[in-house]
Amino acid sequence: MHRTTGKASAALALAAVLALSACGGSGGSDVAADEKQTLTVWAMGTEGEKLGDVAAAYQKKNPHITVKVTPVGWDVAHQKLVSAAAAGKLPDVTQMGSTFMGEFAELGVLEPVDTAKFKKDDFFAAAWDGNVVDGKAYGVPWYTEARVLYYRTDLAQQAGITKPPATWAELSALATAYQKQADTTWGISLQPYNLDAWQNWLPFFYSAGGELTKDGKPALDSEAAVTALKEYGTYFDKGLAKKSVQPGYDVVKDFGNGSVPMFLSGPWQSTNIAENQPELKGKWAAAPLPAGDSSTSWAGGSSLVISKDSKHKAAAADFVAHLSEPATQADWYERTTDLPANKAAWDQGKLATDPMAKVFRTQLESAKAIPALAKWAEIGSKIDEAIESVTQGKATPEQAAKKMQSETAPLVG
């Protein structure tokens, strides 16, 4: 999951809409899937670096199609997509970060998914649902992710605890035990403020039974929101989590030196720990999120979308279908460690036997989507502000939830 780090997406989106109304679509007939043609594809970050090899293998089996992959950095992806959409020049296929989907679907630049070709039930529900706007899917899930609990098993044993926490009460007890019995500086790392603090808080909210929206309106002043803010805030009130962290803070470094024995994060951290903290081998584990009413993460990741202006929609759909096949997704995991969105891929290769993969599969089965909201960047910022007000003691959970609701209401719908 990725999102723009700026706060100007609404203005940029408006500029795109105005430009689109002036220039319109490209027109012309679509090229048949079996005709000679070139597909243009944008992919971001590591995926952009790795996709060329997969595309080359695809071309060998489909010599009439040339796949031109352009890598795009996540730091410029949003701006580049907005500019291309405004000019009617999106590539045939684009990797779309989960929190971008609502904005670009609203712009009317994406082709709806052919649900006769792509079946919802083949994918994790949350990965699919994050692409749906007004009942229509606009992206095919490519890879997905969830948040789980990373914890130091050696320090837990030193504190007299031999199993992962299964509930919020057990999570708090373990954080306390780490400090008191294992002499750690902190009990857990949670984001107290700054951009994307919502990523740490949302698992508490979803696990309390919360929904971001209900009946087309935000639902951020609910009992679940207050409960989640209160629970989240206790870690800072009790001195179990840092009230201040710098942007770019590397939690894995402190996880390695033992000052921070627990944190919530996604699948990439397992590789990060193995590569950068090799001395921790056998001293840590990952577990499903401790439960409030449930153990529920939000689902991130990326989907593949087809431009509404593409003249190669049939071939584009075939390429997307290839990338979403179980065998291709299992191979993609071997190349990138991206978790497959297609559930059948998890029965193949390393995914079928890897204990770490089992933890994430369990979490993905119960995960919820972030609704595809056009102004998610602004909504996320308002949630970040509410979190900060609670963790810094500036507002009660009730006050923060009420303000969060009123400030997001104009941004939803």
Give mean pLDDT in consecutive 10-residue pieces for the chain, a chain of 413 residues.
39 42 47 97 96 97 97 96 96 96 96 97 98 97 98 98 98 98 98 95 98 96 98 98 93 98 97 96 98 98 97 98 97 95 95 94 97 96 98 98 98 89
Residues 118 and 261 in one domain: no
User: Does the predicted model carry a pTM greater than 0.85?
Assistant: yes
Residues 50 and 139 in one domain: yes
- Is residue 1 in some structural domain? no
- Integer Cα distance of 143 and 336 in angstroms: 10
User: What's the total number of domains in the chain?
Assistant: 2
- Is residue 306 in some structural domain? yes
The enclosing domain of 242 has a CATH number of 3.40.190.10
Asked if 106 contacts 288 with a C-beta cutoff of 8 angstroms, the reply is: no
Amino acid identity, position 216: G
Output the six-digit token pair for 356: 């770490």
Residues 189 and 319 in one domain: no
Residues 104 and 17 in one domain: yes
**Backbone dihedral angles phi then psi of residue 348, each to the nearest 5 degrees:** -120, 150
| 109 backbone φψ class: left, alpha, beta (φ>0; ψ -120 to 50) | alpha
Closest Cα to residue 167, out of 208, 137, 198, 130? 208
Which residue among 369, 387, 403 closes a domain? 369
- Is residue 2 in some structural domain? no
- Integer Cα distance of 408 and 377 in angstroms: 11
- Integer Cα distance of 168 and 112 in angstroms: 40
- Is residue 34 in some structural domain? yes
Strand pairing of 132-133 and 65-72?
Answer: unpaired
Residues 260 and 391 in one domain: yes
- What local confidence, expressed as pLDDT, does residue 247 receive? 87
- Is residue 3 in some structural domain? no
- Is residue 381 in some structural domain? yes
Residues 267 and 335 in one domain: no
Output the six-digit token pair for 296: 């529920």
- What local confidence, expressed as pLDDT, does residue 28 receive? 44
Amino acid identity, position 388: E
Residues 123 and 218 in one domain: no
Domain limits at 61? 9-145+299-369
The residue behind tokens 């689109």 is 20
Q: Based on C-alpha coordinates, what's the Rg of the chain?
A: 22
Residues 173 and 224 in one domain: yes
Residues 140 and 153 in one domain: no
Residues 356 and 303 in one domain: yes
Residues 350 and 395 in one domain: no
- What local confidence, expressed as pLDDT, does residue 248 receive? 87
- Is residue 159 in some structural domain? yes
**Backbone dihedral angles phi then psi of residue 406, each to the nearest 5 degrees:** -70, -35
Output the six-digit token pair for 133: 């706007």
Residues 65 and 133 in one domain: yes
- Is residue 231 in some structural domain? yes
